[in-house]
């Protein structure tokens, strides 16, 4: 147990963690991350996950400190600083699959445009999920951005191409209120159709189409 404590202190020293982070509360967070890394056998995904946690847990560690603690490069930690949790998981999947990003082909523009029009509130992550589910491929955010710009499918282009809605007449609301305020007409009999109405329609159903139109 004492040796484990020594290894933990050594881990903090190698990460360049100052004394103020070794107080009980931040120390508990660091210790939990250390134990996680020890159990995870130092695989790539298990190093990226605590890196994302450190960047968003409010501990205020520097990028270089986080990179040294979890064993990733500083550029990786810096890039991850601007990613959502979903995007981090996506990057991990790309790395573990060993496959390069897919290529967006021109024929994908139609389905993507339809998706954006029918789901105007969809995020970039929602669109990436749609692409992956439709064509079984993954693309980077940069490739997606360039594709949307090329085919005029970015948000600004879609807003410019949307037909303007005609404004309602100035007196529309007043007229609607007046109609709704009218008292309902009650107590009046509903007019009944004459017998000729039923007789004419019965004959037309029995006659051929040419005879009925004659």
Q: Is 175 within a domain?
A: no
**CA–CA separation, 180 vs 17, rounded Å?**
71
Which of 158, 117, 110 lies closest to 134, judged by CA? 110
Q: Is 146 within a domain?
A: yes
Residue 47 pLDDT: 86
Q: Are residues 125 and 43 in the same domain?
A: no
Q: Are residues 38 and 112 in the same domain?
A: no
Q: Is 50 within a domain?
A: yes
- CB atoms inside a 10 Å sphere around CB 121: 5
Domain endpoint, select from 145, 160, 175: 160
Residue 28 pLDDT: 93
Q: Are residues 138 and 84 in the same domain?
A: no
Q: Are residues 121 and 85 in the same domain?
A: no
Instruction: Please tell me which residue, 86 or 137, carries the higher pLDDT value.
Output: 86
User: pTM here?
Assistant: 0.45
Residue 212 pLDDT: 46
Domain endpoint, select from 122, 141, 160: 160
Q: Are residues 9 and 80 in the same domain?
A: yes
Residue 179 pLDDT: 47
Q: Is 144 within a domain?
A: yes
Q: Are residues 17 and 71 in the same domain?
A: yes
Domain endpoint, select from 160, 186, 204: 160
* Mean pLDDT confidence for 155-171: 58
Q: Are residues 45 and 75 in the same domain?
A: yes
* Residue given tokens 């107080």 in the structure block: 23
Instruction: Please tell me which residue, 119 or 204, carries the higher pLDDT value.
Output: 119
Q: Are residues 139 and 73 in the same domain?
A: no
**CA–CA separation, 105 vs 25, rounded Å?**
51
Give per-residue pLDDT as tens, 27-61: 999 999 999 988 876 677 888 899 999 999 889 89
CB 101 within 8 A of CB 138: yes
Q: Which residues contact 214 (CB under 8 A, 6 or more apart)?
A: none
Give per-residue pLDDT as tens, 198-213: 454 455 555 554 544 4
Segments forming the whole domain that contains residue 7: 2-97
Q: Is 145 within a domain?
A: yes
Q: Is 193 within a domain?
A: no
Residue 157 pLDDT: 67
Give per-residue pLDDT as tens, 167-200: 555 555 555 555 455 555 555 555 555 555 445 4
In total, how many domains does the chain have?
A: 2
**How far, CA to CA in Å, does 112 sit from each of 71, 129, 146?**
38, 11, 14
Cα within 13 Å of Cα(179), Cβ side: 6
Instruction: Please tell me which residue, 203 or 145, carries the higher pLDDT value.
Output: 145
Phi first, then psi, for residue 84 (nearest 5°) are -80, 170
């Amino acid at each position: 147990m004492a040796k484990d404590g020594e290894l933990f202190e050594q881990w903090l020293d190698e990460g360049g963690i100052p004394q103020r982070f070794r107080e009980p509360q931040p120390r508990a967070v660091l210790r939990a991350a250390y134990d996680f890394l020890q159990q995870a056998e130092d695989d790539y995904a298990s190093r990226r996950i605590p890196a994302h946690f450190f960047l968003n847990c409010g501990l205020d560690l520097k990028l270089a400190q986080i990179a040294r603690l979890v064993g990733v490069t500083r550029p990786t930690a810096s890039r991850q600083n601007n990613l959502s949790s979903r995007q981090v998981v996506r990057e991990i999947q790309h790395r573990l699959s060993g496959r390069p990003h897919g290529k967006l082909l021109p024929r994908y523009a139609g389905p993507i445009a339809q998706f954006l029009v029918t789901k105007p509130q969809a995020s970039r992550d929602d669109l990436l999920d749609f692409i992956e589910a439709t064509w079984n491929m993954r693309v980077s955010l940069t490739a997606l951005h360039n594709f949307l710009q090329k085919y005029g499918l970015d948000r600004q282009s879609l807003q410019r191409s949307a037909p303007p809605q005609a404004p309602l007449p100035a007196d529309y609301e007043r007229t609607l209120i007046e109609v709704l305020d009218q008292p309902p007409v009650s107590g009046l009999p509903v007019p009944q159709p004459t017998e000729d109405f039923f007789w004419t329609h019965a004959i037309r159903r029995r006659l051929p189409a040419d005879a009925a139109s004659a």
